[in-house]
Chain A
Amino acid sequence: MSEIPGQLKFTRDHEWVREHDDGTVEVGITDHAQTALGDLVFIELPDTGGSFTAHDACCVVESVKAASDVYCPLAGTIVNTNEILIEKPELVNNDPYGEGWLFRLRPDLPSELEGLLDDKNYERLLAEDNE
C-alpha cells in the first residue's frame, strides 16, 4: 500500500500539491507513481519563470526503462525547481513527498486548487485503478 499524506492535494495523473503560506505551491509525484516508474535515473525540470496551463507537460521523469511526463497540476508560473534532483534523482524514489519535490509554482487562479483530489479521493482513485 503506498503512502498518501493527508495534508496534500492530488491529481488524477499522480502528482501531489502542497500549499504554502506565501501563496505558492510545491509539486511532486506520488509514492504510487515513483513505485510504478521504478528507479529514476534522470529528471528534466522546467525552467524557472516558465508559465504553464493546467495539464501541460512541464517536466520529465525517466527511469531505466521508461520516461514519463509530469503535468502541471494548476495554471501558473514556475518560481523554483529542485536542482538537487539533477544530481540525485533517487531522492524522488526515497522521499517522494519531501526531498523529492520537483518544482514550486505560483498559481494564476488559487481557486483551481479546489478542483484537485484530497487524500481520500486519491486513495479511491488508486483502489479503482487496481480493480
Chain B
Amino acid sequence: MPFIPHTESDTQAMLRDMGVEDIEELFDEIPSELRCLGLKGIPKALTEFQLARLMRERSAKDQIKLNFMGAGAYEHHIPAAVWEITTRGEYYSAYTPYQAEASQGTLQVIYEYQTMMASLTGLDVSNASLYDGASALAEAILMAVRINRKSRSKRVLIPKTVHPFYVDVVGSITGNQGIQIVQLPYDNETGQVSLSALDAHSHEDITAIVIPQTNVFGVLEEVHTITQWAVDHDVLAIALVNPVALGLLKPPGEWGPDGVAIACGEGQPLGIPLSSGGPYFGFLSCREAFVRQLPGRLVGRTTDLEGTQGFTLTLQAREQHIRRSRATSNICTNQGLMVTAATIYMSLLGPRGLRRVAEHCHAKTRDLVSVMSGIDGVDEVFTGKRFHEAVLRLPVSAEAVLNVLSEWGILGGVSLSSWYPELGEALLVCATETKSDDDLKIYGQALRAAIDQVSEA
C-alpha cells in the first residue's frame, strides 16, 4: 500500500492545471548529472511476511554474550520500568512536538530532562538532545567558533585521547566550514593528554579545546589544569563527558577556575540499550551567556493567564523555520524517545543511584584489571587513574584472542591495534555494574586459555 494521498487522477488534474504533460518536466531545470535516477544496490521489495521472516532469522543469529566491550557504548542495567513507561502510547507516538504547546506532557519531559542534564554537567542550560555523542561534539565545536570572537583562527585542539570515530564525525560536519582540527598527542606513560604538547600551543591563536573525561583509554584527564590553560589563553573549553562517570566525578561546570563553557557527550549509558549501535542520543549543555548559540530545542516553564503551570518552547528565533540559512544549526529536532527513557532512568536512580552505578563500574573494572594482570605477559598499559575502562597489552595478537573469545561466547573488549598501532597488541576492556565476580573469573580463565591457544597456533 503506498502511503501517498494523491490518486493518479489527482496528479493528472494538477499537471493539467499547471499546463505540464509529465511530472518529469518539473525537474527539467536540474542538470542531469546531479540527478539520482533510481537507487542502485537496493534489492527488490519484500512483502510484509517475507520481511518479518528475514528479520526473525537475522535476530536469531544474535547471541547473548558476556560483554567486556566499551569504547563509547556501554552495557548497563536498565530498570524494567524505564522502557515500560517510555513505550506507553502517550510517549511512544509523540515525536518532536509540532503543535508544541498542545503536547504539555512531552514538553514537561523535555523540561525535566534539560534540568537533569544541566545539573549533571554543572552548567546553566541544556538543549533537548541531539542525534548522538559525536554529532553533539561537532555542534559544540561549531558553537565554540561562533562564541569565541577573540579568536580568528577557527583552530580547535582535539586530543588523540578522544575516540577516533568522534574525530571523524567532527571532521565530516565541520570540515567544510573552515574549521581546522589540530590533534594533541598523549603521554605514553599516563595515557593522558600531554601537557607539554598543550603548552607548545600557548602562543598560537586557538579557538577551542576538547577535554574528554574519561578519555578513550578510560583514563581520567587533568581536567582542571587543561581548563585553566584554556582560560589563560582565551581558548574556549569544551568538555566531552561520560554521563555515568559524572555520578562520581566533578561536573565540567566546576572544572578550572569557573568551569567550562560547553559540555557534551553520548547519552546512551543513561538507560538506552546497546541495540547494535543505535539509536542513541547526544547531550549538549552550556553557560547561560551562550544559550543563543546552543542549537536545538529548548523548553521553558511558565504560568498561563490563569496562573497555572505550563511548558512552552522558547528561543525558537534561532531555529531554521525562522532564521533560515542563518539559523544556529540545521539541527532543530531531538531524540524524543531516547530522552524520555533517559529522563525516567535518571529519575528512578537519582543522584545517589547514579553515583552507586558509577562506583560499581569503577570497582568492577579495577577487579577485572587485577584478574587480567595476573596472567603471564598481560600488563596494564597506562598509569593514569581510570574510571570503568582500561588498556591492557597482550603477549599475542589482540584480534586473534578476541576471535577465540567470541567463539566461546565472550566479547572480550576492543582491539586498539588499528586506531593506535603504536600501542602494539593493546586491548581496551570495560566492566560495568552488570558484571559479577563469577563473570570476571570466567573471563580471566578464558583469556588465559585464549592466549595459550593463539600462541600455540
Chain A residues in contact with chain B, CB under 8 A?
Answer: 41-42, 44, 47, 57, 62-67, 69
Tally inter-chain residue pairs, CB-CB below 8 A: 20
A65–B292 touching, CB < 8 Å: no
Name the contact of B316 in the complex, choosing from A47, A57, A65, A69 (C-beta under 8 A).
A65
**Which residues of chain A come closer than 8 Å to B318, judged between CB atoms?**
67
**Which residues of chain A come closer than 8 Å to B81, judged between CB atoms?**
none
Q: CB-nearest residue of chain B relative to A69?
A: B326
Q: Check if B385 is an interface residue, CB within 8 A of chain A.
A: no
Interface CB pairs A-B, < 8 A, 18: A41-B317, A42-B292, A42-B317, A44-B292, A47-B149, A57-B326, A62-B317, A63-B317, A65-B316, A65-B317, A65-B322, A66-B317, A66-B322, A67-B317, A67-B318, A67-B322, A67-B326, A69-B326
Give the contact-size bracket for chain B. under 10
Distance (whole angstroms) from the CB of A53 to the closest CB of chain B: 18
Q: Please measure, in the bound complex, the distance between the C-alpha atom of A47 and the C-alpha atom of B146, giving whole angstroms.
A: 13
Distance (whole angstroms) from the CB of B196 to the closest CB of chain A: 34
Distance (whole angstroms) from the CB of A62 to the closest CB of chain B: 5
Q: CB-nearest residue of chain B relative to A60?
A: B326
The proximity string for B residues 320-333 relative to A, scoring 1 for CB distances below 8 Å and 0 otherwise, is 00110010000000
Interface positions of B from 304 to 347, Cβ below 8 Å from A: 316-318, 322-323, 326
Q: CB-nearest residue of chain B relative to A44?
A: B292
Q: Please measure, in the bound complex, the distance between the C-alpha atom of A41 and the C-alpha atom of B318, giving whole angstroms.
A: 12
**Which residues of chain A come closer than 8 Å to B323, judged between CB atoms?**
67
Distance (whole angstroms) from the CB of A34 to the closest CB of chain B: 15
B326–A64 touching, CB < 8 Å: no
Q: Please measure, in the bound complex, the distance between the C-alpha atom of A41 and the C-alpha atom of B291, giving whole angstroms.
A: 13
B149–A64 touching, CB < 8 Å: no
**Which residues of chain B come closer than 8 Å to A67, judged between CB atoms?**
317-318, 322-323, 326
Distance (whole angstroms) from the CB of A17 to the closest CB of chain B: 24
The 4 A-B residue pairs with the shortest CB-CB distance in the complex, in nearest-first order:
A67-B317, A62-B317, A67-B323, A67-B322
Q: Please measure, in the bound complex, the distance between the C-alpha atom of A47 and the C-alpha atom of B326, giving whole angstroms.
A: 18
Q: CB-nearest residue of chain B relative to A41?
A: B317
Q: A65-B317, A66-B322 are known contacts; what are 11 more A-B pairs with Cβ within 8 Å? A: A42-B292, A42-B317, A47-B149, A62-B317, A63-B317, A64-B317, A65-B322, A66-B317, A67-B318, A67-B322, A67-B326
Q: CB-nearest residue of chain A relative to B314?
A: A64
The proximity string for B residues 131-149 relative to A, scoring 1 for CB distances below 8 Å and 0 otherwise, is 0000000000000000001
Q: Please measure, in the bound complex, the distance between the C-alpha atom of A62 and the C-alpha atom of B149, giving whole angstroms.
A: 20
Q: Please measure, in the bound complex, the distance between the C-alpha atom of A41 and the C-alpha atom of B149, giving whole angstroms.
A: 22
Q: Please measure, in the bound complex, the distance between the C-alpha atom of A65 and the C-alpha atom of B292, giving whole angstroms.
A: 14
Q: CB-nearest residue of chain B relative to A63?
A: B317
Q: Please measure, in the bound complex, the distance between the C-alpha atom of A19 and the C-alpha atom of B316, giving whole angstroms.
A: 36
Q: Please measure, in the bound complex, the distance between the C-alpha atom of A116 and the C-alpha atom of B326, giving whole angstroms.
A: 27
Q: CB-nearest residue of chain B relative to A62?
A: B317
Q: CB-nearest residue of chain B relative to A57?
A: B326
Q: Please measure, in the bound complex, the distance between the C-alpha atom of A75 and the C-alpha atom of B323, giving whole angstroms.
A: 25
Q: CB-nearest residue of chain A relative to B323?
A: A67
Distance (whole angstroms) from the CB of A89 to the closest CB of chain B: 12
Q: Please measure, in the bound complex, the distance between the C-alpha atom of A64 and the C-alpha atom of B322, giving whole angstroms.
A: 11
Distance (whole angstroms) from the CB of A18 to the closest CB of chain B: 27
Q: Please measure, in the bound complex, the distance between the C-alpha atom of A55 and the C-alpha atom of B78, giving whole angstroms.
A: 56
**Which residues of chain B come closer than 8 Å to A57, judged between CB atoms?**
326
**Which residues of chain B come closer than 8 Å to A66, judged between CB atoms?**
317, 322
Distance (whole angstroms) from the CB of B151 to the closest CB of chain A: 12
